[in-house]
A and B are shown apart, each in its own frame.
Chain A
Amino acid sequence: MLKRLYDYFVHPLTQIEFRVNRSDRLFVFLSLAPSILITMVVVFLPLFYALYLSFNNAEVVVIGGKGGVQTEWIGLSNYFYFLQDKAFWQGVRVTTYFTMVSLAVELTLGIIVALVLNQEFFGRGLVRALLILPWAVPTVVNARLWGLIYEPQSYGAMNGLFQLLGLTTPDNAINFLTPVPIFQDVPILGQLMGWIGSTSAINWIILADTWKVIPVVALLVLAGLQSIPLDLYEAAKVDGANNWQLFWSITLPMLRPILLVILVFRTMELFRVFDILYILMAYTIPVVGIRTFQETFVFGLFGRGSAIAFLIGLFILLIALVYINLISLEDE
């Protein structure tokens, strides 16, 4: 890993030789300048500013339309505050739970759907085209849409489905998005779920969130499946392997690269979850994204908000390094 980082970041700096014609240098400079300027000024500068703010008590004061920032250096206090804050750790546990369960569901169902779509059947092209629909639905609309489905009255769609299956009667509708821990009656599991913060609400929201992602995971896996050479299977069949063995010894290992990319990318996306939880649950499920927003824009504590924001940024960048490492492995 370190070697790879060195190869990518440090080694090029030691290579002084330009392999660019003199006449092309201006072109290279002009073509890169705007993009670098935009990303530097709008992304990296604010990130370092967030680090600075996180060592401060920061407040935005607006008097008569004139804004101003007041800061007071308090060192690591903001970080110590979160280290000792039980609610923050609760939030970290819920975020981890949300990320891991969603990932497991997305990958498992994504692979199953891809395997089905890889078979020959009538209308396959159409089915495949329609599968992109959930991905295109904006996250906010997705949240609203599932809010309607989870309506806690008998006329809600999910309640209607439960009644159709004979699981409930119209007289006792279920409130899906309630912050009650699941498996409360089971001794150890119930306590564990309570500790993690796995409530009925978060699990139903995982269902809503994965609905949007599973089809596109399936389409990506399908692209991977179609690049596996068929003679691998032929050879294994001659050796008498059954379908189950073919899947574990050929399909899954061949899908490894695309599955890793999906895994790392989705971890980053899931860890920062905000939209759907904010819209459906306001501040009741304290994932790190929601907590950052609340500290900053509800309580007005910009220093504290910056501290979590910076921690999230750092964590995601670490995962990003893993990802960069993966793709540079694939390049070779």
Chain B
Amino acid sequence: MKNQDTMRLWQYRLSRVGLYFLVALILIWTLAPFTWLFITSISTQAKLNAIPIQWLPNPPTFEHYVAMFDVNNETSLLFIAAMRNSILVATTTTFICLLFGVPAAYSLSRFVFPARNIIVMAMLATRLLPTIALVVPFYIIIVGYIDPVFKMFDTPHNLIILYSSFIIGLVVWIMRGFFTAIPRDLEEQAMVDGATRLQALWYIILPLSFPGLVTTGLLAFLLSWDEFLLALVFSRTPAAFTMPYFVFVVGSSQYYQSPAAVAAGGFLAALPPVILALIFQERLIGGLTDGAVKG
């Protein structure tokens, strides 16, 4: 009997060791590549070219980060412009999508009217349609027809309009889910007491769906921050290009300096979304499960 108990104990200990081993493996696999990006960014050229490979920079150097913010440096001007454009485009897109998407989602969750389901499905379809299928007609319409009349090519407002068109569908889709979960009685009661529909939405429904708004806004922000194809096709100069475009040109054109400079640019481009995602991790996963947005 006693023998069997010790057996069990050992079996248990063994399975615990195995579990922690697997967890460590998962953690290393998840974090190592991003860590390598950071290590590369604080390395000297001598460290990067050392054979056999030198894993840790000794001594580390932050010159590439300093260079990014040094206005006498050509790359730094591109970086600052890209950061400014990215912040501008992503926040404006998020704002527009919430402003127009939230009332639409509310109506779609509360009223029954002809073509309601078609609208819901069309909204979902806009999120699912690949950019690559639309970038060709976009280019012809914008460069061939709109640009001669109104400057669109290579401007931030062009990107804002294009991004909004994709992301608004996502906002409508997710927020509709949140609104449907809120009982109708709440605003109906308020309206019996004399509130208008808009007041009921503003004072009662929106505060209740605040977590949903945060999640949706974050997803919209992250999606527009991440977008590359449209930025690649529709921007040429620092007037419009965003961080993904910057990370692309800094590693593959006349701006190329060194792997460490590319890594520093990449790390800075990844920093805002990574920090936001780590802070709001739980909400984002909830949002992804509800909206099944971005595999």
Q: A-side interface residues toward B, CB under 8 Å? A: 8-9, 12-13, 15-16, 18-20, 23-24, 27-28, 30-32, 34-36, 38-39, 41-44, 46-47, 49-50, 53, 58, 60, 62, 65-69, 106, 113, 116-117, 119, 121, 127-141, 144-149, 151, 153-157, 159-160, 163, 170, 211, 213, 215-217, 219-220, 223, 258, 261-262, 265-266, 268-269, 271-272, 274-275, 278-279, 288-289, 292-293, 296-297, 302, 305-306, 309-310, 312-313, 316-317, 320, 323-324, 327
Contact = CB atoms under 8 A, between A and B. Distances in A.
A13 B114 contact: yes
B48 A133 contact: no
A31 B107 contact: yes
A274 B133 CA distance: 12
Contact of B112 (A20, A34, A62, A266): A20
B281 A129 contact: yes
A32 B53 contact: no
Q: Top 4 A-B pairs ranked by shortest CB distance?
A: A42-B165, A160-B53, A313-B133, A136-B277
B174 to A, nearest CB: 13
B292 interface: yes
A268 B127 CA distance: 11
A149 B131 CA distance: 28
B144 interface: yes
A310 B134 CA distance: 8
Nearest to A263: B295
B122 A279 contact: no
Nearest to B232: A278
B140 A309 contact: no
Interface stretch (B1-9, B66-74, B223-231): B223-231
Interface in B135-150: 135-141, 143-145, 147-148
A228 to B, nearest CB: 14
A153 B263 CA distance: 17
Given A50-B136, A279-B251, 18 more contacts: A12-B117, A18-B114, A24-B197, A31-B107, A38-B165, A43-B134, A47-B133, A47-B137, A121-B16, A129-B281, A136-B222, A138-B247, A139-B244, A145-B37, A156-B53, A216-B285, A220-B285, A302-B139
Interface in B3-23: 16, 19-20, 22-23
Contacts of A213: 295
Given A12-B118, A306-B136, A316 B251 contact: no
Nearest to B273: A136
A157 B169 contact: no
Contacts of B27: 127, 130
B22 A116 contact: yes
Contacts of B117: 8-9, 12
Contact of A35 (B123, B134, B248, B273): B123
Contact of B128 (A12, A130, A289, A323): A323
B260 to A, nearest CB: 10
B34 A145 contact: yes
A213 B29 CA distance: 12
Interface in B265-286: 266-267, 269-270, 273-274, 276-278, 281-282, 284-286
B289 interface: yes
Contacts of B203: none
B137 A50 contact: yes
B129 interface: yes
Contacts of A39: 122-123, 126, 165, 168-169
Interface in B25-71: 26-27, 29-31, 33-34, 36-37, 40, 48-55
A128 B169 CA distance: 29
11 contacts: A12-B114, A27-B107, A46-B134, A49-B140, A50-B137, A58-B140, A67-B144, A159-B53, A160-B55, A275-B228, A320-B125
